[in-house]
Each structure stands twice: as structure tokens, then as C-alpha cells.
């Protein structure tokens, strides 16, 4: 039970941190949309967001598996 609780706490911290990174990436992209378009760097931010979204989904899944622990 202690191991599961520790993993869930860790997953919660990861989830919170990665969610912040997702929003930071969106804000950076929106703030620099003209430059991104001109330089053709849209994919860089798409990839960065996708990676953070996948990490967020994994950690949230772990947190949701056992909410009563």
C-alpha cells in the first residue's frame, strides 16, 4: 500500500508539472505565432506539446487508477 501511495504521489507531482509545461508551451507558441510561421518552426512546438501531453496522460491515468489510496 505504501509503494502504491508513493507512486501515486509521484505521478501527481509529474502530472502537475507536465500540465504546467503544456500551458507554458501553448503560451509561448501563441506569443510568437508570427515568428513561428515565418521561420517554419510550428512543428517544434507541436512536438513539444505532444510529448508533454503524453506524459500528462500517463501520470493522470496512474492517479485515476486508485483514487481511494
The reported pLDDT for the residue numbered 54 is: 93
> 66: alpha, beta or left, given left = phi > 0 and alpha = psi -120 to 50?
beta
In this predicted structure, the answer to whether residue 66 has a pLDDT above a threshold of 70 is no
Position 57 scores a pLDDT of 92
What is the rounded average pLDDT of the residues 27-51? 90
Supply the pLDDT for residue 4: 80
Range 54-65 average pLDDT = 86
Q: How many angstroms separate the CA atoms of 60 and 14, rounded?
A: 9
Grid cell for residue 33: 505565432
Q: Is the pLDDT of residue 65 over 80?
A: no
What is the CA angle 17-7-65, rounded to 5? 90
Check if the beta carbon of residue 62 is closer than 8 Å to that of residue 14. no
Span 9-33, mean pLDDT? 90
Amino acid at each position: 500500500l505504501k509503494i502504491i501511495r508513493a507512486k501515486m504521489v509521484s505521478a501527481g507531482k509529474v502530472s502537475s508539472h507536465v500540465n504546467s509545461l503544456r500551458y507554458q508551451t501553448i503560451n509561448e507558441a501563441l506569443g510568437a505565432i508570427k515568428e513561428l510561421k515565418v521561420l517554419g518552426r510550428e512543428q517544434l512546438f507541436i512536438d513539444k506539446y505532444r510529448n508533454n501531453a503524453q506524459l500528462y496522460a500517463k501520470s493522470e491515468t496512474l492517479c485515476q487508477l486508485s483514487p481511494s489510496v
